[in-house]
Chain A
């Protein structure tokens, strides 16, 4: 049974790691947008 649990756990862990990667990309996107906004506001 250990192998069966390991296979399913691996699937959940890989998805979790990928979701974390997506969340980090999302944070970077929003930071890039905020940085652009700050640049534009300082220019005005």
Chain B
């Protein structure tokens, strides 16, 4: 969609074609349904925790997808400070926002599992506290982006904050390896005494693929929307300049 003002000067704005969403959404939905089947039927029932262990198939992939979104936010923020590219800034915003959606799922599913297993919804151990702090920091990052006026300073400030708050992600990942926590020790990449039944590992893998596909679809949608929003704002400013 393009809009012209006069023969000499052109104001061009468009909203990108989103038809790519349909096949991606189809494949993602198929994987999500397969992941549900694996989580409820395919994977065996764990001997000590019983059916509650099945929450793991949503809890872990949500954390991995969230961390991936934040890692993208971090890398894009570093590149933004070096190159000042609007596309990279849009990618940083998309990474933080979509990552936060997945981290919210992780934070909600955790206590739902903890109540029947630990007898409590929440405890202030290192892993849980660091995850909650991470959630609060990325919410603050998105609020900061909304509140600061649109200027060159806004994305620079956001990028600096993003680099600072990402420090929580690797510490959160390592928390259950460095310290004794009430949160279970790692079952994947956790050393010699960790591991999963192959059928459980397969269910985790399918859930992880499904969540990663969903992450990619949501990231691209938000990235494109942000670029389109900038393009429309630029075109409006250009038009006002020409009209005045």
Contacts and interface: CB of A to CB of B under 8 A. Distances in A.
B126 interface: no
Given A4-B51, A4-B54, A36 B108 contact: no
Interface residues of B, number: 41
Contacts, number: 85
A27 to B, nearest CB: 11
22 contacts: A3-B55, A4-B51, A4-B54, A4-B55, A7-B58, A7-B112, A7-B113, A8-B58, A10-B105, A11-B108, A14-B101, A14-B108, A22-B221, A22-B225, A29-B225, A30-B15, A33-B232, A36-B3, A36-B13, A36-B236, A40-B3, A40-B239
Interface in A22-40: 22, 25-26, 29-30, 32-33, 36-37, 39-40
A11 B218 CA distance: 15
A22 to B, nearest CB: 6
B243 interface: yes
Interface in B37-71: 39-40, 51-52, 54-55, 58-59, 62
B229 A29 contact: yes
Given A3-B113, A8-B36, A36-B232, 4 more contacts: A11-B109, A15-B101, A18-B101, A33-B3
Contact of A10 (B3, B4, B109, B235): B109
B14 interface: yes
A9 B213 CA distance: 19
